[in-house]
Amino acid sequence: MQEDYSKLVEEVQKKNDMLAKALEEAERVNMTKTAFLSNMSHEIRTPMNAIIGLYNIALRNPDLPDDTREILDKIGGSAKHLLSLINDILDMSRIDSGRVTIKQEDFSFGDMLEQVNTMIESQCQDRGLVFECRLKGQMDDYYVGDDMKLKQVTINILGNAVKFTEAPGRVLFLAEEVGREGDTVKVRFTMKDTGIGMDADYIPKIFEPFSQENEGQSNKYGSTGLGMAITKNIVDMMKGTIEVESEKGVGTTFMVTVPLGISSKSKEKDKASESDTPTAASELDLANLKTIIIDDDETACEQGELVLKKVGISADYCMSGAEALEKMDRARKDGAPYQLMLVDWKMPGMDGIEVTRNLREKYGDDSTTVILTTYNWDEIMEEALKAGVDAFLAKPLFAKSIKKDLSDILKTRARMKKKPGEKVSLSGRRVLLAEDVEINALIMTQILNMKEIEADVAENGKEACELFEKHPAGYYDVILMDQRMPVMDGFEATKAIRSMTRPDAATIPIVALTANAFDEDVKQSLDAGMNAHLTKPVEPEALFKTIKEMIQSKGSL
């Protein structure tokens, strides 16, 4: 009996050893696969950066013949489609290898929505579509979950909605809480479009890799056929659900429901709000600030009214520019003019800029502070400021930041009129560019020249350190740092710069500009002391936006 038991133990041990070796081999294969994909990504992205960079530069030529411009547009579209395919293949590979993890961290729900809205609203504008983002009911300012994965899911679906919808069409993005239990809340995202729709028999296949309803659809709409498969996998990993309703020629609706944690930050903020007295709402006594909200969407008006009420501000609202001007006129005649106006940019009949222009022309630069609410104001900022807009707030409004934002705007109204204008121009700024590939350095220099940004080029990390050290403190506004370079790579160069004793060594913004696209690459950049991570190929507007943000955060503007 003892002998049989010993043999059994020996066999179990052998099997355990075999399993351990198999697991070790599987992990080794996964690591090899990941290293291969990382290298492949870098090697493909490097020439892609040159193609897309040269395409962007060539299109800036005003004397370009129409037939040449059409050819370049096709080259650019094909290059971007190839880049999307590379990104999706890498994502699928990481999911298959089990290297994708779902974080459980506090995140700002408002900030997440703002980032999604900025991207999607811009895409809708380019295609002549109407974009709406709404909150249904009350939402917390903070939740616990993985906001990066949530953004990926919503952007994938909304991006498809934009892609498969022709003008004049609409894309709707709705967020709401649909249930709470203990420390968990279910949040549902509804994404609806008026696009081409799908046949009922195709809907079950939509989440299969490389699935396309019609032949040639990929060429027409630039679809890789992997986005929905990736989206479904991420939602499953978040223990959520995804539902689809669609009708051919009518449109499609996606409903994603995910469990999120209730953040202690929201609980603390609620307690703080409850303890605030009207006179303590802010130094400027926001509670007694006569306020009007103007938006053609009643849901947006009600949500704005709810948010302002949460921070102690009672607001009226109306749903057209003409009605607002009449209401404001009556208030002035009654001797109680509105002191604050939150007006939506896009409204039928009279938009927010026209309302502001009418107000300023009629009453001059008086005591009414005008804030324009929209998803993205970059393209209209100059026109809005000339019309008399004082500041901008991203829709939808959130209680998390509204009190501080309003206090800052009201305290510094005169200065705020100039500050946004200064952000528009990057002319005369100096950038140190560390890039070892000559063609990429040339392209990046020409792109920076579009905004009259001066660039000094270093061929490796060691030369970048020497150039930085050679010039006086504050000479460079930003450093754009490639990661893979000979002599000294970007990580070593960043650490070397951060360790210098000169006053700007710790504050100079350093942006990773690299073909390395994995999450661990981003983490490695930040761990080395970099402030941001841009993946090649970089769109010019994304580059300029990052440079502006870096300079602003440094306090140079």
Identify the pLDDT of residue 423. 46
Going from the C-alpha of 435 to that of each of 124, 455, 498, 540, 544, the distances in angstroms are: 35, 12, 19, 17, 18
Confidence of residue 92 (pLDDT cuts 50, 70, 90): low
Share of the chain above pLDDT 70, in %: 77
Give me the mean pLDDT over the 152-179 stretch: 92
Q: What are the tens digits of pLDDT across the range 287-297?
A: 778 999 999 98
Identify the pLDDT of residue 236. 93
Alpha helices (H) in 381-428, listed in sequence order: 381-387, 399-411, 413-424
Identify the pLDDT of residue 418. 45
Identify the pLDDT of residue 102. 85
| CATH 3.40.50.2300, applies to 430-554 | yes
Identify the pLDDT of residue 251. 94
Identify the pLDDT of residue 238. 92
Neighbours of 31 (CB within 10 A): 12
Give me the mean pLDDT over the 86-105 stretch: 72
Confidence of residue 318 (pLDDT cuts 50, 70, 90): very high
Identify the pLDDT of residue 158. 94
The 8-class DSSP code of residue 263 comes to: P
Q: Which residue has the higher pLDDT, 310 or 497?
A: 497
Identify the pLDDT of residue 493. 93
What are 228's two structure tokens? 């929905």
d(CA 425, CA 414): 19
d(CA 305, CA 381): 25
> Quick check: 484 and 435 in contact, CB under 8 A?
no
What are 333's two structure tokens? 């005649």
Identify the pLDDT of residue 229. 86
Whole-model pTM: value is: 0.58
Residues of the chain with CATH 3.30.565.10: 105-265
Q: Token pair 């930041």 is at which residue?
A: 401
> Which of the residue ranges 343-347, 357-361, 410-414, 453-457 would you say has the lowest mean pLDDT?
410-414
> Quick check: 478 and 550 in contact, CB under 8 A?
yes
Confidence of residue 169 (pLDDT cuts 50, 70, 90): very high
> 93-97, 172-176, 225-229, 538-542 — which one is most confidently predicted on average?
172-176
Confidence of residue 456 (pLDDT cuts 50, 70, 90): very high
**For the chain, give me the number of helices (H) and strands (E)?**
18, 17
Q: Which residue has the higher pLDDT, 495 or 5?
A: 495
Identify the pLDDT of residue 28. 64
> Quick check: 537 and 490 in contact, CB under 8 A?
no
Confidence of residue 27 (pLDDT cuts 50, 70, 90): low
> Quick check: 311 and 403 in contact, CB under 8 A?
yes
Identify the pLDDT of residue 510. 93
Of the candidates 244, 234, 241, the residue with the CA atom closest to the CA atom of residue 160: 244
d(CA 370, CA 358): 12
Of the candidates 261, 256, 295, the residue with the CA atom closest to the CA atom of residue 176: 256
Confidence of residue 239 (pLDDT cuts 50, 70, 90): very high
User: Residue 284: pLDDT above 60?
Assistant: no
Q: Which residue has the higher pLDDT, 284 or 180?
A: 180
Of the candidates 433, 136, 165, the residue with the CA atom closest to the CA atom of residue 299: 136
> Which of the residue ranges 47-56, 339-348, 459-468 would you say has the lowest mean pLDDT?
47-56
Identify the pLDDT of residue 148. 84
Q: Token pair 């609410």 is at which residue?
A: 373
Q: What are the tens digits of pLDDT across the range 360-375?
A: 888 876 678 899 998 8
Residues of the chain with CATH 3.40.50.2300: 276-424, 430-554
| Domain spanning 276-424, CATH class | alpha beta
Q: Which residue has the higher pLDDT, 347 or 24?
A: 347
Q: Which residue has the higher pLDDT, 475 or 279?
A: 475
- Residues whose CB falls within 8 Å of the CB of residue 222, separated by 6 or more in sequence, listed in order: 77, 80, 81, 84, 163
Q: Which residue has the higher pLDDT, 556 or 267?
A: 267
DSSP 36-70: HHHHHHHHHHHHHHHHHHHHHHHHT-TT--HHHHH
d(CA 289, CA 213): 55
Give me the mean pLDDT over the 427-433 stretch: 92
The CA-CA-CA angle for residues 159, 165, 170, to 5°, reads: 90
Give kind and range of the element (H or E) at residue 108.
Answer: strand 105-108
Beta bridge partners of 105: 145
User: Residue 488: pLDDT above 60?
Assistant: yes
d(CA 542, CA 557): 19
Share of the chain above pLDDT 90, in %: 29
Q: What are the tens digits of pLDDT across the range 187-224?
A: 999 999 999 999 888 888 888 876 666 654 544 545 55
d(CA 513, CA 525): 10
- The mean of the pLDDT values for the chain is 81
What are 101's two structure tokens? 């993890």
> 17-26, 217-226, 276-285, 443-452 — which one is most confidently predicted on average?
443-452
Confidence of residue 542 (pLDDT cuts 50, 70, 90): confident
Q: Is 337 left (phi over 0), alpha (psi -120 to 50) or beta?
A: beta
Confidence of residue 81 (pLDDT cuts 50, 70, 90): low
Give me the mean pLDDT over the 533-554 stretch: 80
User: Residue 515: pLDDT above 80?
Assistant: no
> Quick check: 469 and 475 in contact, CB under 8 A?
no
The 8-class DSSP code of residue 225 comes to: S
User: Residue 306: pLDDT above 50?
Assistant: yes
Identify the pLDDT of residue 417. 46
Give me the mean pLDDT over the 153-166 stretch: 92
Helix axes 321-333, 352-363, angle to 10 degrees: 30
Identify the pLDDT of residue 36. 67
Backbone angles phi, psi at 283, to 5 degrees: -65, -25
Q: Which fold has domain 105-265?
A: Heat Shock Protein 90 (3.30.565)
